[in-house]
Amino acid sequence: MSTTGLDRRTRRRQETIEEILEVAIALMETEGVAALSLSAVARRLGMQPPSLYQYFPSKMAIYDALFQRGNEQLRDAYRSAYEAADTDDPLELGLIAATAFCRWCLEHQVYSQLLFWRTIPGFEPSPEAFAPAAESMQELRDHLQLMVDAGHLRPEVAGEEGVALYTSLIAGLLSQQIANEPDASFEEGRFIRLLPVVLEMFYQRYAPTRG
């Protein structure tokens, strides 16, 4: 988050919030997503635990902020790839956006666990934190509708079943890759490199009926 234009006190508060979130992510990488400790965060920052409550009233509040932050970063990553593409073909754009989405998830596996797997008992994101995820889902529906309008796919692909199947396929690839080869690159991962094949299977499922 940019702090440009903020007064000094507000800017410093926002910078401290960002520091807290960075430390939380680092601890989650080493200790596990569900093992986050406010006292450990405070120690890493050199502050007393009560001081941390000035910024986040609970551990769930930190998870909530990270959920929003992760979804914003993921949304921006696939949007950037989509906008930079030098093609207007909806199928090619779909692969470009899905590739950027999966790359980000593999490069930010702690965020991926928080965003897509229920690794924290009792955690539910707030409406504000969930808003970027809702944006991403709507943009997926819009892109699938674009492929329908271009004549590539049947209308039901942009409905509930099509969206559910699409997200299940992508999540399945990511889950298999992270569970079995967490350190492999996108190009080398034996599961995630099947992304073009999986998308082709998905498109075949909703291909228009000829004749």
- Note the pLDDT of residue 29: 93
pLDDT digits (tens), the chain, 211 positions: 555 556 888 888 899 999 999 999 999 999 999 999 999 999 999 988 888 999 999 999 999 999 999 999 999 999 999 999 999 999 999 999 999 999 999 999 999 999 999 889 899 999 999 999 999 999 999 999 999 999 999 999 999 999 999 999 999 999 999 999 999 999 999 999 999 999 999 999 999 986 4
Exposure b/e, 139-162, CB count within 10 A at least 16 = b: ebbebbbebbeeebbbeebbeeeb
- Rounded CA separation 69/1 (Å): 9
Local structure of 86: helix, strand or coil: coil
The domain spans of the chain are 1-57, 65-205
- Note the pLDDT of residue 43: 92
Rg from Cα positions in the chain:
20
Where does 1-57 sit in CATH, by number?
A: 1.10.10.60
> Which residues contact residue 166 at a Cβ distance below 8 angstroms, ignoring those fewer than 6 apart?
140, 144, 202
- Note the pLDDT of residue 143: 95
- Note the pLDDT of residue 61: 96
Q: How many CA atoms lie within 13 A of 155 on its CB side?
A: 0
| Cα distances (angstroms) measured from residue 176 to each of 103, 170, 184 | 14, 10, 12
Orientation of helix 160-180 relative to helix 195-205, angle to 10°: 160
- Note the pLDDT of residue 10: 86
- Note the pLDDT of residue 3: 54
- Note the pLDDT of residue 72: 97
- Rounded CA separation 152/146 (Å): 9
- Rounded CA separation 19/14 (Å): 9
Q: Which amino acid is at 101?
A: F
Cβ–Cβ < 8 Å for 91, 152: yes
65-205 topology per CATH: Tetracycline Repressor; domain 2 (1.10.357)
- Note the pLDDT of residue 210: 67
- Rounded CA separation 95/91 (Å): 6
